[in-house]
């Protein structure tokens, strides 16, 4: 082969390589789009259980297979079963939720009803609307004109614990009456009252230090302030003001009226250990 022919072939090879390189650079590689799954509002049952903090998905499958899980009152054994938002899902008979657990403390002002209903005017739900995306609800009640601490959560175990008047958690209220409270009536309340055939017991009641005798502190496990009105009206006192000042060690410190805050991790642990 002549040197000219060799140079010619090398030139062609060089040109060919350069051409390929130019062509490769000029071609735009468009990545294939992965079709997105539409959110139809359903969730696999094992994921629902895992998100509720019960166990892992693999373990959830095992519990589903042996009949530990019900959906809307029926045992579900089907792997891959999907639940709808709002379905009543129970694990070992206890209702569970896949939402992140939220614990919100509000210092309630006057003029707000303690309800989740939308047809009651201004409600406490309006005050905590931006606190979390979880579906929290108030524990117990404070009357529209009552003030003070109100705890919200979507943790059913905590909610049930607090709403049990026998094994529940005591709250401390600052109560102002229309007249001075007799020492004998303080003693009667401490001993327990029977009103319309129902026994009403308080943890403790006493005068507020440094305040007039018409102001008392009352610690009780009942979840609504209506029982406080019942106690004092039974003894011929008119309730002027009710303010919840302490719930299971939680206070109004650094929490102005009308404001809310999330509980700290340690506060949540303490709450469950009370």
Q: Is 63 helix (H, G, I), strand (E, B) or coil?
A: helix
pLDDT at 18 over 70: no
CA distance 247 to 192: 22
CA distance 260 to 127: 8
CB atoms within 10 A of CB 255: 15
CA distance 52 to 26: 52
Closest C-alpha among 65, 64, 49 to residue 98: 49
pLDDT at 195 over 80: yes
pLDDT at 120 over 80: no
Read off the pTM. Answer: 0.70
DSSP 8-state code for residue 141? B
- Answer whether 128's CB lies under 8 Å from 73's CB: no
State the pLDDT at residue 50.
85
Binned at pLDDT 50, 70 and 90, residue 238 comes out as very high
- State the DSSP H helix or E strand holding residue 189, giving kind and residue range, or none if neither: helix 183-191
- Answer whether 220's CB lies under 8 Å from 171's CB: yes
State the pLDDT at residue 23.
57
State the pLDDT at residue 187.
97
- Answer whether 245's CB lies under 8 Å from 174's CB: yes
- Residue-wise pLDDT for 39-66, tens only, equals 567 889 998 988 887 888 899 999 999 9
How buried is 48 (Cβ within 10 angstroms: 0-12 exposed, 13-18 middle, 19+ buried)?
Answer: buried
More confident residue, 176 or 7: 176
Q: Is 142 helix (H, G, I), strand (E, B) or coil?
A: coil
pLDDT at 143 over 80: yes
Average pLDDT, the chain: 86
Q: Is 183 helix (H, G, I), strand (E, B) or coil?
A: helix
CB atoms within 10 A of CB 210: 6
In degrees and rounded to multiples of 5, residue 254 shows phi and psi of: 60, 25
CA distance 256 to 96: 33
Closest C-alpha among 142, 147, 135, 102 to residue 263: 102
State the pLDDT at residue 22.
55
CA distance 155 to 246: 20
State the pLDDT at residue 135.
84
CB atoms within 10 A of CB 52: 18
Domains in the chain: ranges and CATH: 42-95 (3.10.290.10), 103-273 (3.30.2350.10)
pLDDT at 32 over 70: no
């Amino acid at each position: 082969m002549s040197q000219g022919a060799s140079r010619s072939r090398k030139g062609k090879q060089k040109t060919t390589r350069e051409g390929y390189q130019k062509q490769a650079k000029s071609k735009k590689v468009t990545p294939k789009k992965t079709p997105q799954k539409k959110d139809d509002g359903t969730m696999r049952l094992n994921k629902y259980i895992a998100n509720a903090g019960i166990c892992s998905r693999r373990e959830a499958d095992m519990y589903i297979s042996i009949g530990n899980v019900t959906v809307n009152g029926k045992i579900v054994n089907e792997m891959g079963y999907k639940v709808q938002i709002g379905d009543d899902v129970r694990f070992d008979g206890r209702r569970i939720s896949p939402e992140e657990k939220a614990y919100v403390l509000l210092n309630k002002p006057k003029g707000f009803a303690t309800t989740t209903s939308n047809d009651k005017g201004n409600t406490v739900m309006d005050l905590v609307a931006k606190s979390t995306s979880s579906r929290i609800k108030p524990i117990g009640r404070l009357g529209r004109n009552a003030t003070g601490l109100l705890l919200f959560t979507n943790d059913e175990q905590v909610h049930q614990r607090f709403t049990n008047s026998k094994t529940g958690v005591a709250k401390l209220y600052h109560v102002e009456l229309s007249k001075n409270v007799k020492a004998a009536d303080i003693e009667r309340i401490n001993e327990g009252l029977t009103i319309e055939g129902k026994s009403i017991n308080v943890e403790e009641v006493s005068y507020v230090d440094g305040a007039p005798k018409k102001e008392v502190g009352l610690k009780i496990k009942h979840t609504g302030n209506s029982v406080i009105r019942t106690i004092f009206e039974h003894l011929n006192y008119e309730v002027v003001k009710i303010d919840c000042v302490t719930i299971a060690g939680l206070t109004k410190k650094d929490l102005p009226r009308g404001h809310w805050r999330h509980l700290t991790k340690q506060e949540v642990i303490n709450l469950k250990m009370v």
